Amino acid sequence: GSAQGSGAMGGSASLIPRDLLGEYQELTFLSKQEILLAYKRFSELLPKEERENACSTRVPKSQILTLPELRANPFQQRICHVFSTSETEDDSMSFEDFLDMLSVFSDSATSDIKSYYAFRIFDFDNDGILDRKDLEQLVNCLTGQGEGSRLSSEEMEQLIQNILEESDIDKDGTINLAEFQHVVSRSPDF
Amino acid sequence: DGSDDNEEGSAVENEENAKGTDKGKKRATPRTRRAHARGRDRHGDEDDEDDEGGMRRAGPRRHRSRRRGRAAGNEASDSDMEHTKARKNQANQESKENDEEDEDEKGGKSGKGKNEKKGDKKSDKKGKKEKANKKKKDKKKSGSGSDSESEEEPITEEELAKLKEEVEEKKKLIATLRNKPWKMKKKLSVLKYGLISIMNPLLILILFNTFCASLDKITSKDQLICLSITSHVFTGHFGSSVASYFIFLRWMYGINMILFGLTFGLVMVPEALMGKPYGSLPRKTVPRAEEATAMNFATLWDFSGFAQYSVLFYGYYNNQRTIGWLKFRMPLSYFLVGVGSIGYSFMIVTRTMAKNANDDGGGDDTSFNFSWKMFTSWDYLIGNPETADNKFASITTSFKEAIVEEQESRKEENIHLTRFLRVLANFLALCTLAGSGYLIFFVVRRSQQFALEGLENYGWWERNEVNTVMSLLGMFCPTLFDVISSLENYHPRIALRWQLGRIFALFLGNLYTFIIALMDEINLKARYFLPFTMFDRLLGNIEALQSATDISLEEEKIVKYNMTIWEASLYNGTIPENSTAPPIQVDPADVPRGPCWETMVGQEFVRLTVSDMMTTYITILIGDFLRAVFVRFFNYCWCWDLEYGFPSYSEFDISGNVLGLIFNQGMIWMGSFYAPCLPAINVFRLHTSMYLQCWAVMCCNVPQERVFKASRSNNFYMAMLLFILFLSTLPAVYTIVSIPPSFDCGPFSGKTRMYEVISETLEHDFPSWFGKVFGYASNPGLILPFILLMVLSLYYLNATSKSYKEANLELKKKLQSVRIENYCF
């Protein structure tokens, strides 16, 4: 779903350069109003002195994770990692990365692009396929951090077995992007 | 919110102004107008072509500007043109390279990917084209840019074709950029090279489109902008199931607005403006006896007094065939609005059901149960840690349940156990229903006995026994059903539907038992509508109508007799046959009145709606708000933890609220024929309760324990709504067709049946052959074959739809196998 602003309408922040706004609107699934809103939210994450050139500054991961939409999300680390284009691998996000993220999560994004990014988010070791370790980590993320809520190892084994039975078409013990997209495109809830 | 819109609007305007090319265009327009006039004659018909017209026009204009080398604005575009060709090729190459890179990245299985991308490209291109066409149409209407395109000098066909082709490629490229999973930087660089070449026409179109879209947002039909923003807020807190309740509420509000528009505009306003004023007729005047109290607040709150003798109720309307200088046919309008609003409601409910059925697709597919749970169960709209914890818990539970169920389904005998348990649960539910029905029957009989012996002898309990018992049943049985459903072990969504269905059956069963037990009593006490909960009154009034009209027929004769006697008394005892004496002026307030059961029924419904509204407000204020305040502030000085034990904060009960909404709407549908003011009251009620519930949900409620995402199909609620609609329109239809209207009030007074207004209209207002045709058409010999034909076509459509579904499933299976094949080779 869309990670839009939760009604935090600040005062008049400086706008994005006009030509860029048009281009962003063309390249993402967001409307201009949504892009401006995103800009506001993004610039609020920066300290006051850096807000003027929010377009070119990078926000550290810790700041991004304070957004309410990401705060409660079990995949927050992965999301930051996937969308970040930082060369120093510190998972900091620029405004364009932020827009990329919002665009993929918006309602009007196609199922293909959503499933592509979902695959990358679930791929914890970044090797391009979902193997057993990835699936285990995925389940642990979904069941939360509490002690009582984790699955026992037999249950985990059973679960992963079932999943691989359902989704692994070429029976190589891993799920690749195409298989993932095949499974997920049939789902009514995706 | 407003500031955002302004900012965006100004941003767009600034954009338009800042662009050199645009400025040039604006300046160019007046100068080129003359040229366009010349050019238009030659290429007039080409300009009007819709399809590729935009691009065609763009081509020649560019060409022309290049040749002429005009003012500063055009020079800017000129220079762009020069860069264009060079950059175009570069960009093409780049994008091709990028495509190839990407496909190599994906590794191996690019075949499928490419096909999918092509599909996307095509659909995007179509979408873009349609957008472009629409924009062009808008532009034509607004007339702003349309003058600026037309050629002056002839250009060769091949140049035109080449330009067209280049532009198409650019369009394709830009349309697919969104879909490419590249980083923004990459996309921007490709776009820059590709965009400049068609910056002129396409950018105008883009800007215009966004401007129109922003206008749309500012003047959108959704006046409740607050609600659309807050729906994001509490979706974050509660997940999307609560939001779906509010969306349903908003949809109902829309329907009620239309009903309000119909009754207000076509019934109340004409009578108020053009009908005879208050005080001119007996039916429009407060009787002398009631005049003293007519303006009291208590009387007005009860909808008698002045409120009763006004356009708000049926009784006020006069039965004149036409009123005012417009010759507005009031009785006909009243009849048609009543029938029309019911017809409209049916149509819109059925249409929404059909739309939801389309979204549903081929139905439930359980082939990827575990994978879907794994990959799609997280609700990304959740932003609140508390809700997230609940969601974690529910995901864990659902995993465990699914694993257990999977294990158990492998053991054969446990299927039977589950089935047995479910049958047992249904049996218990039926027992509960039967038990509550019997209890009501018993209690009603007892109260009849009390009534016979005189109510004064008994205390409060005996007097209100029936009320209390029904309310208590309404409170406790749903909880009992909840406990029973734990036996059944269904998916939460399915369990909710069973729950709702059982509660529905409970209320209906109670009502019918009540009615059956009460039939005699109602006949005795036609005028005295016992105050019960809204569900009881819903069907209680149907029976009351019948008995009320029986009584009123008797009364009618008595009153008519009394009136003749009264008139005679005015003439001092003599009623000459052919009297030429001047008619004596009598104040309308003094004339004795006949009974007016329609107004009585209308009043009942209005009182019911108002009391229901009050109950909702009070429940929210006390049950939610005060409770939350109490728990929050007294938690420090209380023995046990108020927040986790009893009473804790209240949950937002979706199913209860939805049922309440549906039953309320049923009341409105039932009563709006007798009280035209009812839709207006309901609009007000929905409006205020929307905001009140919104606030209550955010401030006083906690998220539900079991959080699950509501999928798009609300067909279950729609089906219930349709059923209630049908049930509610039965009384009105019955009265229109079989019961004679009151002789002394309302637009149909004097007729034997209400529908006679139609035949009267046909006689007077339509040519005579029309009446004949209608007469033939309403012959049973013609109607019965028509009904037979409809039944046959229903059967045929049903058969075809089944065959389509099967074909659909076959295709899906084929697709699956084709995908697997593609995959393996």
Look up residue B329 and give its two tokens.
């046919």
Look up residue A111 and give its two tokens.
């199922």
Rounded to the nearest angstrom, the minimum Cα separation between B306 and chain A is 46
pLDDT of B683 over the 90 cut: yes
Question: CB B557: neighbour CB atoms within 10 A?
Answer: 10
Would you list the DSSP string of A27-88?
A: HSS--HHHHHHHHHHHHHHS-GGGSTTTTT-EE-HHHHTTSHHHHT-TTHHHHHHHH---TT
Residue B230 and residue B163 in one domain: no
Q: Which residue among B113, B236, B371 places its CB closest to the CB of A163?
A: B371
* pLDDT of amino acid B801: 92
Give mean pLDDT, residues B803-809. Answer: 91
Among the listed residues B199, B1, B600, B350, the one whose alpha carbon sits nearest the alpha carbon of residue A7: B1
| CA gap B551, B533 in Å, rounded | 25
pLDDT of B687 over the 50 cut: yes
What band does B795 get if pLDDT is binned at 50, 70 and 90? very high
Give mean pLDDT, residues B292-306. Answer: 82
Q: Which residue among B236, B376, B820 places its CB closest to the CB of A187?
A: B376
What band does A189 get if pLDDT is binned at 50, 70 and 90? low
Q: Are B318 and B312 spatial neighbours (Cβ–Cβ below 8 Å)?
A: no
Compare A73 and B644 and report the one with higher pLDDT.
Answer: A73
B-proximal residues of A, 38-67, CB under 8 Å: none
Which chain B residues contact residue A122 at CB under 8 A?
375
Q: Are B707 and B381 spatial neighbours (Cβ–Cβ below 8 Å)?
A: no
Among the listed residues B727, B724, B592, the one whose alpha carbon sits nearest the alpha carbon of residue B288: B592
pLDDT of B576 over the 90 cut: no
**Position of tokens 């293909």?**
A112
What band does B171 get if pLDDT is binned at 50, 70 and 90? confident
Among the listed residues B706, B703, B689, the one whose alpha carbon sits nearest the alpha carbon of residue B648: B703
Give pLDDT tens digits for B201-215. 444 444 445 444 444
Cβ-defined contact of B403 to A162 (cutoff 8 Å): yes
| CA gap B322, B311 in Å, rounded | 17
Residue B166 and residue B223 in one domain: no
Residue B570 lies in a domain: no
* pLDDT of amino acid A67: 83
**CA-angle at B506, arms to B505 and B507, nearest 5°:** 95
**Position of tokens 């959108």?**
B220
* pLDDT of amino acid B74: 39
Residue B437 and residue B398 in one domain: yes
Cβ-defined contact of B383 to A188 (cutoff 8 Å): no
Which chain B residues contact residue A110 at CB under 8 A?
120, 179
What backbone torsions phi and psi does residue A93 show, to the nearest 5 degrees?
Answer: -120, 135
Residue B484 and residue B518 in one domain: yes
| CA gap B701, B703 in Å, rounded | 7
Cβ-defined contact of B396 to A143 (cutoff 8 Å): yes
Residue B360 and residue B225 in one domain: yes
Residue B179 and residue B229 in one domain: no
Compare B528 and A134 and report the one with higher pLDDT.
Answer: A134
Cβ-defined contact of A163 to B374 (cutoff 8 Å): yes
Residue B37 lies in a domain: no
Cβ-defined contact of B374 to A135 (cutoff 8 Å): yes
Which chain B residues contact residue A69 at CB under 8 A?
236, 380, 383
What band does A25 get if pLDDT is binned at 50, 70 and 90? confident
Compare B187 and B272 and report the one with higher pLDDT.
Answer: B272
Residue to mutate among A19, A167, A189, with most B CBs inside 10 A, is: A189
Give mean pLDDT, residues B87-92. Answer: 46
| CA gap B18, B822 in Å, rounded | 51
Q: Are B609 and B681 spatial neighbours (Cβ–Cβ below 8 Å)?
A: yes
CB-hemisphere CA count at 13 Å for B494?
7
Nearest CA in chain B to A97: B184
Domain ranges of chain A: 18-105, 111-186
Q: Are B27 and B71 spatial neighbours (Cβ–Cβ below 8 Å)?
A: yes
pLDDT of B574 over the 80 cut: no
Query: What is the total count of domains within chain B?
Result: 2
Which chain A residues contact residue B399 at CB under 8 A?
139, 142-143, 151, 155, 159
| CA gap B503, B480 in Å, rounded | 10
Which helix (H) or strand (E) segment holds residue B413: the answer is helix B413-453
Give pLDDT tens digits for B753-794. 888 888 888 888 888 888 888 888 888 888 999 999 999 999
* Maximum distance among all Cα pairs of chain B, rounded to whole angstroms: 111
What backbone torsions phi and psi does residue B410 show, to the nearest 5 degrees?
Answer: -75, -25
Cβ-defined contact of B823 to A21 (cutoff 8 Å): no
Residue B408 and residue B493 in one domain: yes
Question: CB B216: neighbour CB atoms within 10 A?
Answer: 10
Q: What's the one-letter identity of residue B475?
A: M
Contacts 24+ apart (CB under 8 A), B520-528: B520/B448, B521/B444, B521/B448, B521/B451, B522/B547, B523/B547, B523/B550, B526/B550, B526/B551, B527/B551, B527/B600
- Using DSSP, state whether B545 is helix, strand or coil: helix
Helix and strand counts by DSSP (H, E) for chain B: 28, 2
Residue B12 lies in a domain: no
Which range, of A130-134, B36-40, B397-401, B735-739, averages the lowest pLDDT?
B36-40
Task: Look at phi and psi of residue B384 and say left if phi exceeds 0, alpha if psi is from -120 to 50, else beta.
Answer: beta
What band does B192 get if pLDDT is binned at 50, 70 and 90? low
Q: Which residue among B195, B360, B383 places its CB closest to the CB of A68?
A: B383
Percent of chain A surpassing pLDDT 90: 0
pLDDT of B39 over the 80 cut: no
Would you list the DSSP string of B501-536?
A: HHHHHHHHHHHHHHHHHHHHHHHHTTT------HHH
Cβ-defined contact of A122 to B375 (cutoff 8 Å): yes
| CA gap B216, B201 in Å, rounded | 22
Residue B185 and residue B253 in one domain: no
- Which of B699, B729, B747 is the endpoint of a domain? B747
Contacts of B638 (CB under 8 A, 6+ apart): none
What band does B366 get if pLDDT is binned at 50, 70 and 90? low
Which chain B residues contact residue A135 at CB under 8 A?
374
Look up residue B410 and give its two tokens.
């492998």
Residue B637 and residue B723 in one domain: yes
* pLDDT of amino acid B68: 40
Q: What is the mean pLDDT of chain B?
A: 69
Which chain B residues contact residue A149 at CB under 8 A?
392-393, 396
Cβ-defined contact of A159 to B381 (cutoff 8 Å): no
What band does B372 get if pLDDT is binned at 50, 70 and 90? confident
Query: What is the bridge-based pairing of β-strands B650-651 and B701-702?
Result: parallel
Asked whether the CA dihedral B213, B214, B220, B222 is positive or negative, the reply is: positive
- Which of B727, B747, B767 is the endpoint of a domain? B747
Among the listed residues B73, B238, B180, B227, the one whose alpha carbon sits nearest the alpha carbon of residue B652: B238
Compare B11 and B605 and report the one with higher pLDDT.
Answer: B605
| CA gap B182, A100 in Å, rounded | 9
pLDDT of B28 over the 70 cut: no
Among the listed residues B6, B67, B10, B3, the one whose alpha carbon sits nearest the alpha carbon of residue B35: B67
Give pLDDT tens digits for B635-681. 778 777 777 666 677 777 777 778 778 888 888 898 888 899 999 99
Task: Look at phi and psi of residue B648 and say left if phi exceeds 0, alpha if psi is from -120 to 50, else beta.
Answer: left
For chain A, how many residues are written? Answer: 190
Cβ-defined contact of B374 to A139 (cutoff 8 Å): yes
Which chain B residues contact residue A79 at CB under 8 A?
none
CA B208 to centroid of chain Cα atoms: 31
Give pLDDT tens digits for B504-562. 888 777 766 765 665 555 444 443 433 334 444 545 555 555 555 555 566 667 777 77
What band does B434 get if pLDDT is binned at 50, 70 and 90? very high
Give mean pLDDT, residues B343-360. Answer: 84
Q: What distances in angstroms separate CA B704 from CA B156, B483, B623, B656, one per listed residue? A: 70, 17, 16, 13
Cβ-defined contact of B378 to A151 (cutoff 8 Å): no
Query: What is the bridge-based pairing of β-strands A93-94 and B650-651?
Result: unpaired
What band does B460 get if pLDDT is binned at 50, 70 and 90? low
B-proximal residues of A, 108-167, CB under 8 Å: 110, 112-113, 116-118, 122, 128, 135, 138-139, 142-146, 149-151, 155, 158-159, 162-163, 166-167
In CATH, the architecture of A18-105 is Orthogonal Bundle (1.10)
| CATH hierarchy code of domain A111-186 | 1.10.238.10
* pLDDT of amino acid B128: 44
Q: Which residue among B184, B192, B387 places its CB closest to the CB of A96?
A: B184
Q: Which residue among B230, B235, B375 places its CB closest to the CB of A184?
A: B375
Residue B400 and residue B322 in one domain: yes
Compare B352 and B449 and report the one with higher pLDDT.
Answer: B352
* pLDDT of amino acid B598: 81
pLDDT of B65 over the 60 cut: no
* pLDDT of amino acid B715: 74
Q: What distances in angstroms separate CA B110 from CA B122, B180, B181, B404, one per listed residue? A: 18, 14, 14, 38
**CA-angle at B763, arms to B761 and B766, nearest 5°:** 75
* pLDDT of amino acid B340: 94
User: What ranges make up the beta strands (E) of B521-677?
Assistant: 650-651
Q: What is the pTM of this model?
A: 0.58
Q: Which residue among B206, B387, B824 places its CB closest to the CB of A72?
A: B387
Contacts of A50 (CB under 8 A, 6+ apart): A57
| CA gap B813, B357 in Å, rounded | 21
What domain range is B171 assigned to? 157-198
- Using DSSP, state whether B640 is helix, strand or coil: coil
Query: Do A111-186 and A18-105 have the same topology in CATH?
Result: yes
* pLDDT of amino acid B262: 93
pLDDT of B263 over the 90 cut: yes
Nearest CA in chain A to B395: A143
DSSP A148: T
pLDDT of B115 over the 80 cut: no
Which range, of A58-67, B17-26, B177-186, B533-542, averages the lowest pLDDT?
B17-26
Residue to mutate among A21, A28, A33, with most B CBs inside 10 A, is: A33
Residue B268 and residue B336 in one domain: yes
Which range, of A71-75, B57-61, B235-239, B452-456, averages the lowest pLDDT?
B57-61
**Position of tokens 């169920």?**
B405
pLDDT of A39 over the 80 cut: yes
| CA gap B488, B763 in Å, rounded | 63
Residue B168 and residue B221 in one domain: no
Q: What's the one-letter identity of residue A55?
A: C
Would you list the DSSP string of B230-246?
A: HHHHHHHHH-HHHHHHH
Give pLDDT tens digits for B472-516. 777 778 778 888 888 887 766 677 778 878 888 887 777 667 656
Nearest CA in chain A to B6: A33
Chain A to chain B Cβ contacts (< 8 Å): 224
What backbone torsions phi and psi does residue A75 show, to the nearest 5 degrees?
Answer: -100, 20
Q: Which residue among B106, B217, B403 places its CB closest to the CB of A159?
A: B403
Residue to mutate among A107, A142, A161, A170, with most B CBs inside 10 A, is: A142
What band does B703 get if pLDDT is binned at 50, 70 and 90? low
